[in-house]
Amino acid sequence: MNSSGFGTIIQIGDVLVSEDVVCEFFACDYAACGGACCVEGESGAPLEESELDGLEEGYEAYSGLMSDAGRARVSEVGFFEVDRDGDLVTPCVARDGSRAGARGEAASGLASASGACAFCHFGDGALCAIEMAGREKPVSCALYPIRITKMPGGGLALNLHCWDICRAAFEKGRREGVRAYEFLRGPLERRFGPEFYEALSAAAQHIL
């Protein structure tokens, strides 16, 4: 670990973790947000190249839970798009600025710029059709609000994305005494392994 003007940085192998990941409280509050992180945003969720085959292989299992607009988008562009930064992301269905349009309830036309994730299931809110079908959703979705950034030297940086749509989740985490890294233990272990989580937990205890 080391400290700087940007706070404490935890280094585990070639992964740098910001102190917010272990210090901030967080626990998803779906009743409050309705899955807004699957609907709002400028592009789809980041994908790792290793996840593309799984998305395609499992499509039959989860496609029936997707919206008509989502299935149409996948038919048009496939299982990923490339965003403005050149990164692989999930395809999106267009939204017209209204929540109904974002949910595909009144959407007319498709676009690759922004909107709801094509893999969403829409009811009273947005849910991941992939997860509903019992399959693993993209790790970037499972890890949110932790964001993974690739560094020039080949390492990774983990930072906490503080978005207003998750305000209720930060408040719920504080009420229940759950830190972000604790709430996201499963996805962290899935992506980085149990030993990584054990090291992160030990560092968190030292900081806290």
13 dihedral zone (left: phi>0; alpha: psi -120 to 50; beta): left
Same domain for 53 and 21, yes or no, is no
Overall domain count for the chain: 2
Same domain for 68 and 90, yes or no, is yes
Using CA atoms of 86, 87, 93, 99 in order, give the dihedral in degrees to the nearest 10: -110
Residues β-bridged to residue 120: 128
Domain boundary residue, one of 107, 136, 165: 136
Same domain for 55 and 81, yes or no, is yes
Same domain for 93 and 120, yes or no, is yes
Task: Tell me the C-alpha to C-alpha distance, in Å, between residue 35 and each of 19, 124, 164, 166.
Answer: 26, 10, 13, 10
Prediction pTM value: 0.85
Same domain for 40 and 132, yes or no, is yes
Highest mean pLDDT (candidates 42-51, 88-97, 182-191): 182-191
How much is the pLDDT for 22? Answer: 96
Same domain for 77 and 3, yes or no, is no
Same domain for 22 and 38, yes or no, is no
- Give the pLDDT confidence of 91-106 residue by residue, as tens digits: 998 753 332 223 333 3
Same domain for 49 and 130, yes or no, is yes
- Residue range(s) defining the domain that contains residue 77: 34-136
Domain boundary residue, one of 75, 108, 136: 136
Mean pLDDT (the chain, rounded): 87
Rounded Cα gap, residues 169 and 139, in angstroms: 19
